[in-house]
Structures are given as C-alpha cells and as structure tokens.
C-alpha cells in the first residue's frame, strides 16, 4: 500500500541470508452493486452523464478520502500486462522454456527454495523494471496527487511496485502507503550493475556483507558468509517489514472516519487487501452516506451537462464498485 498516505515492494535490493446478540433482529445480508459506465456514450447518454456528475460531486464534497489501487491504474501508461501474448510472463518463458510457473508462483516466497525458480524471478523482475523505466505516471496517479494537494486525501493504499506513485510525489508523504514495496535500488551507483545481474537470473552479492567480511579477514578474523541482494518486494506468504506500522496507520485512518472510499485497478484477490477494503467500507457507510445514484431523474435528463472544472479528469475511465 502506498501512503501520504500510499505499498508492495521495490527494486531496492535487500540483503537476504540463506456477547450475545439474542433478541436482536438479524443484520441484512451485504450486497455488491456494480455500475458499469460506457464512457464512450458520456456525451449523449443522460444516465452516464448523471452518474459521472454524481461521482464528481461525491469527490468534491468529501474531505477524508481513502483510495485503494492496483496494477490496473498503470496500464494506460504502457506498463505491460503480465499475461498478454507479448507480456513479461511469455518473455521470461522464452528464456526459461523448461520452467513451468504460474503467474502467482513468481511472487511467492517459496520460489527461493529452488535455485532455478529464483533465477526466473530475478529475470522477470529485472525485465519489469526495464519496462517501467520508460513510462510516465497516468492521469489517475496525478488525480490522486491532486486530491493530496487539496487536503482531501486521508490515505492512498497501493499494491503497485512500479514506483509511479513516487514519481508524482505520493510515496514518502504522510498520506501514501505501499503494501508491496517498489522497484528501486538503494545503492543508486550500482543499480545498472544489479539490473544486469538480475536479468541473467543471478543475485548479486551484498556489498555490505562483502565489506564486513573483508574487514574481518584483514584483522585475521574468520570471514563471514556473504548474502545476496533480492529485489525489495514483499511476496506472497512473506511478512511485510512494515506490517505493524501499516496496521497502526489503518487503525488511525479508521478512527478518523473516512467519508469516501475509491477502489481502482485491483480485483481484490489478495486477502489482506480485501480485509482492509471491508473495514474501510464499514467505516464509510457508518457515516450514513449513500452511494451516488446512477439513475437520472426526469428533470436532470433535460439539463445540459455542465463542463467539468477538473481538467485532470478529462477522458479518464472510472470503474466504481460499491460494497453495501
């Protein structure tokens, strides 16, 4: 999650050594309302105009917005789909034709148990970094930053590891949390060297370990084992190094009672993120706010659509899910 509140991981290589409710009426079942808006018809369809107007109004009126994002917000930047015919999964498959790994397996901590699987992971991440270096943040990234600048952003939680949030000034601020890290080297002087090694499926030695070992040998002490660098990405079944801090921030955000939750570019298949979204959904609905209506009234149909006062929203695409 990325928090100024925006994370997942980074190419920052990190060193690794080997009461009773009786009598109460039952709660109504939770439902999910999904509004799919054909934006290509936004200039002629009154229903779409009405829905977009209400969405814009909800954002404009809200003062404590929580945003949850995934890889989908970066597709328009040119970040490749992993599973497309020319995607990174297939590019890695061409280099390692005898290895059978599912997409999720490439991000599972267990891959380090096998040297070949680890090599595939290093190559995949290095190619991903190369593809990301040449792209720019999307309008969605700038939209989130605009909310931050206006003091409307309570927190932005992102699963993304591409570092695009950082480029617009979100990561490192008090409102952005990254749940999975980022693709960035801590030692900028050696980033090209590290990338070249990773793309060949080799993990470079930890320079700090090497220096300590050399210092010990110089004073006639026994050399220590030198660890290797791994991309600083939090994998499945791997504890987040800042997990406690993220949990504290989430609790703090919930206590501040957010008034709008926006979810973009994620299928919410990760258990931890799904749980987070449920908690924030409850907090938002506890304020009594109802989701924007997508059905125009007869009087609204006759009105001409007003021009948007937010240029950063022009031409953008919104997929909105309300968890009721």
Whether this prediction's pTM lies above 0.85 is answered by no
Are 127 and 201 within 8 A, CB to CB? no
Rounded Cα gap, residues 176 and 145, in angstroms? 10
Q: How far apart are the first and last CA of the chain?
A: 23
9-18, 164-173, 280-289: which is most confident: 280-289
Model pLDDT, residue 192: 83
Residue 163: is its pLDDT beyond 80?
yes
C-alpha to C-alpha distance for 9 and 271, rounded to whole angstroms: 17
Q: Show the DSSP H helices in 63-190 as ranges.
A: 88-95, 115-133, 139-149, 164-167
- Maximum distance among all alpha carbons in the chain? 88
> Which range among 30-39, 247-256, 296-305 shows the weakest confidence by mean pLDDT?
296-305
| pLDDT band at residue 178 under the 50/70/90 scheme | low
Domains detected in the chain: 1-15+31-78+137-183+233-324 (3.40.50.1220)
Distance of CA 180 to the CA centre of its chain: 7
Q: Tell me: the pLDDT tens digits for 88-113?
A: 667 677 777 777 667 677 888 898 89
- How many whole angstroms separate alpha carbon 239 and alpha carbon 153? 27
pLDDT digits (tens, 9 = 90+) for 47-65: 888 888 888 999 999 999 9
How many C-beta neighbours within 10 Å does residue 135 have?
A: 16
Bridge partners of 232, per DSSP, are 10
Q: What percent of the chain has pLDDT over 70?
A: 66
Q: How many CA atoms lie within 13 A of 163 on its CB side?
A: 19
Residue 66: predicted pLDDT: 95
**53 three-state secondary structure:** helix
Bridge-partner residues for 323, per DSSP? Answer: 32
**CA nearest neighbour of 262 among 80, 140, 174:** 140
Which residues 6+ apart lie within 8 Å of 28 measured at CB?
Answer: none
For residue range 11-28, list pLDDT tens digits in order: 555 565 544 444 444 444
Structure confidence at residue 5 (pLDDT)? 41
Which tokens belong to 107? 């991000």
Q: Is the pLDDT of residue 45 over 50?
A: yes
Task: Measure the CA–CA gap between 223 and 217, rounded to whole angstroms.
Answer: 6
Of the candidates 256, 294, 261, the one whose C-alpha atom is nearest the C-alpha of residue 280 is 261
Q: How far apart are CA 171 and CA 152, in angstroms?
A: 16
């Amino acid at each position: 999650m990325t928090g100024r509140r925006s994370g997942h991981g980074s190419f920052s290589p990190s060193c690794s050594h080997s009461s009773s409710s009786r009598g109460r009426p039952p709660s109504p079942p939770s439902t999910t309302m999904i509004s799919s808006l054909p934006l290509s018809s936004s200039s002629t369809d009154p229903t779409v105009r009405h829905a977009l107007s209400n969405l814009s109004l909800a954002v404009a009126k809200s003062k404590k917005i929580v945003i949850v994002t995934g890889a989908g917000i970066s597709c328009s930047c040119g970040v490749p789909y992993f599973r497309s015919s020319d995607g990174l999964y297939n590019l890695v498959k061409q280099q390692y034709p005898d290895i059978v790994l599912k997409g999720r397996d490439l991000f599972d901590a267990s891959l380090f148990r096998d040297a070949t699987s680890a090599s595939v992971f290093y190559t995949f991440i290095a190619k991903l970094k190369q593809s990301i270096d040449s792209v720019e943040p999307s309008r969605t990234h700038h939209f989130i930053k605009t909310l931050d600048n206006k003091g409307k952003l309570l927190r932005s939680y992102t699963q993304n590891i591409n570092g695009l949030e950082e480029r617009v000034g979100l990561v490192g601020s008090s409102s952005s949390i990254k749940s999975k890290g980022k693709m960035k080297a801590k030692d900028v002087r050696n980033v090209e060297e590290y990338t070249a090694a990773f793309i060949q499926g080799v993990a470079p030695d930890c320079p700090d370990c090497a220096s300590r070992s050399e210092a010990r040998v110089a004073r006639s002490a026994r050399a220590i084992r030198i660890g290797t660098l791994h991309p600083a990405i939090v994998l499945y079944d791997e504890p987040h190094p800042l997990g406690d801090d993220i949990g504290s921030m989430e609790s703090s955000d919930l206590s501040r009672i957010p008034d709008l939750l926006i979810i973009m570019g994620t299928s919410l298949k990760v258990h931890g993120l799904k749980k987070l979204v449920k908690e924030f959904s409850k907090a938002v609905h506890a304020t009594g706010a109802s989701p924007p209506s997508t059905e125009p009234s007869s009087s609204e149909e006759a009105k001409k659509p007003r021009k948007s006062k937010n240029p950063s929203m022009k031409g953008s695409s919104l997929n909105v899910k309300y968890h009721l």
